[in-house]
Amino acid sequence: MKERNTANTMTGAEAMVRMLEAHGVRHIFGLCGDTTLPFYDALYRLDHKIEHILTRDERCAAYMADGYARVTKKVGVCEGPSGGGATYILPGLVEANESSVPILAITSDVGTRSKGHYPLTELDQEGLMRPLTKFNTVIQHADAIPDTVRTAFRKMTTGRPGTAHLGLPIDVQRGEANPDDIWADPAHQTYPAYPSGPDPDAVEGALDALLSAKFPVVICGGGIVLAGGEADFVSFVESLDIAVATTISGQGSIPETHPNNIGVVGSNGGVPATRELVQKADLVLFIGCRAGSVTTELWRYPSKATRIVHIDSDPEVIGASYRTEAALVSDARLALKALNGALAARGPQAGFGGASAVAPLKTRKWEVFNRFSGTAETPIRPERTIAALRRVLDDDAILVGDPGTPCPYLSAYYELNTTGRTLFSNRAHGALGYALSAAMGVSVGAPGKKVVSLMGDGSFGFTCGELETVVRKNMPITFIVFSNSVYGWIKAGQKTGFDERYFSVDFNRTDHKAVAEAFGVKAWRVENPEDLDSVLRQAVEHDGPTLVDVISQPLNEANAPVSEWIA
């Protein structure tokens, strides 16, 4: 029987549970360890609303928390033990932090008094996590837990969202905390908390610059979806008839079927037709976008001579790569509301002809895709798989794509008919193995949605052990493996940049269907492209976890939408 602590004191471990509960945490992804025993015991004994989901790897726990945070707009929480657990959880923290996704990692630690005496699993956790997080500390006293947790949630959810790490030594877990200190600011349960709006004078200045252009183009990153500004953005686009492009993280800011939206630009998912739109612009408006190397193809498109207006909640982003004519430091939704209000006050505008400029470019883009998506070639072309998946899935399905084969094809050609976070990938550091685990977090956070995880066979090998967790928790996720027996992105790079000097990129083919079935996942293997629609439909409609192993064309032989490989 679980108990509710009503005493005048509580342990540090109990205080941690109560503080997480106070901040609206309902799920924790994590893995047990010796130094975590008091915390686990508190989770066992106390009456609370938190479900702990045991994972098979701390890195996967962090990726699950990441996927969970992206679809719930709540902080994702993961935990792991000292030593190896802390090092394994780190990749998920840095990916989320650079993607403006708030996740909290709690790692237990050796006792504070044993530090420096060579205890097993001793590690400078604070030093390790410092450059990778927005907030990071190892708690030294149990009575400091409530205030430290509040600080972590405040840091994670305000300004540009990011990650936090809390080290929790075992003696601090056993120490004494004050129950009267258990409280939380409800605003910090979701993100972005306390969003800030733009300076009114800066709004007018940005609008003056924009309206003085002959053919401006908007490039939006993840900031619009993160802020919930999709409806305001659509209104802004339509009031000016302005052309739009997105980054991969910016997908869902506006439907990709919208006539003003060319789709994804940049070196991953962009194609010559989308690049041409950016080249045509005499002014580029970046919204919630850092204008990084992938989006701009190494800062070539737009060129450094292009006029720039920039909107971002992080002032350090503005002017980092481009000379900026006008800027708004603001939450994207509030900036767009202000711009729409200022536009309404100025009266109707002539418009920039964005939809008519986008139309022929969009036609060229889809002509290339359609040339390959209907082919009966084997191994199966990735375009064929993406086209079949688009036919099978409803618009409210959520897709998570791994780097490698899935990401460029998904971002370029899986056309989104709606707004919101329904397709994403790990675009900050691009580690393999993300999609399988992140999709599990999505499944927990959005239980009524169909979740599809797409990965290459290289990525599958990183994290397939979590299929046990998928089966244990009966997560109805469909996993799609592009099976081509190669680290295809690297081999394609060796083809185009190193005269086909292929070195150490090929590996043996795995029977992914058999591996999945060994874990208890219903699985199929597809070699004939004519079978794709039928098998994918069966997989999606099955009421439990499924996997489809698609024998696919390798990237070095494909027509992937990656600019450096396109002649």
CB 134 within 8 A of CB 156: yes
What tens digit of pLDDT does each residue of 192-218 get? Answer: 999 999 999 999 999 999 999 999 999
Mapped to the 3 state alphabet, what secondary structure does 206-221 carry? HHHHHHCCCCEEEEEC
What is the per-residue pLDDT for 479? 98
Distance CA 79, CA 451 (A): 24
What is the average per-residue pLDDT within 399-414? 94
CB 513 within 8 A of CB 489: no
What is the average per-residue pLDDT within 141-159? 98
Given a cut of 80, whether residue 3 has pLDDT beyond it is no
CB 129 within 8 A of CB 90: yes
All domains in the chain, ordered by first residue:
10-189 (3.40.50.970), 200-357 (3.40.50.1220), 374-565 (3.40.50.970)
Q: What is the largest CA-CA distance in the chain?
A: 73
Report cis status (omega within 30 of 0) of the bond before 192.
yes
Given a cut of 60, whether residue 487 has pLDDT beyond it is yes
Distance CA 529, CA 406 (A): 17
Contacts of 210 (CB under 8 A, 6+ apart): 216, 240, 283, 285, 309, 326
The upper half-sphere exposure of residue 374, i.e. CA atoms within 13 Å in the direction of its Cβ, equals 5
What is the average per-residue pLDDT within 268-280? 95
What tens digit of pLDDT does each residue of 117-126 get? Answer: 888 888 899 9
- For residue 53, what are its two tokens? 């989901």
At 510, the amino acid letter reads: T
pLDDT grade for 7, boundaries at 50, 70 and 90: low
Q: What percent of the chain has pLDDT over 90?
A: 92
CB 267 within 8 A of CB 562: yes
What is the per-residue pLDDT for 117? 86
Distance CA 456, CA 341 (A): 46
Cα angle, residue 455 at apex, residues 454 and 461 outer, rounded to 5°: 140
CB 562 within 8 A of CB 408: yes
| DSSP for residue 130 | G
Indicate the pTM of the whole model: 0.95
Q: Dihedral sign, CA of 369, 404, 460, 438?
A: negative
Distance CA 271, CA 291 (A): 18
Residue with tokens 């052990």: 465
Distance CA 368, CA 90 (A): 40
Contacts of 511 (CB under 8 A, 6+ apart): 525, 549
pLDDT grade for 1, boundaries at 50, 70 and 90: very low
- For residue 146, what are its two tokens? 């409530």
Distance CA 395, CA 446 (A): 14
DSSP alpha helix (H) spans, 76-199: 84-98, 125-129, 145-157, 170-174
Residue 216: C-alpha distances to residues 56, 213, 237, 283, 304 (Å): 49, 6, 11, 5, 15
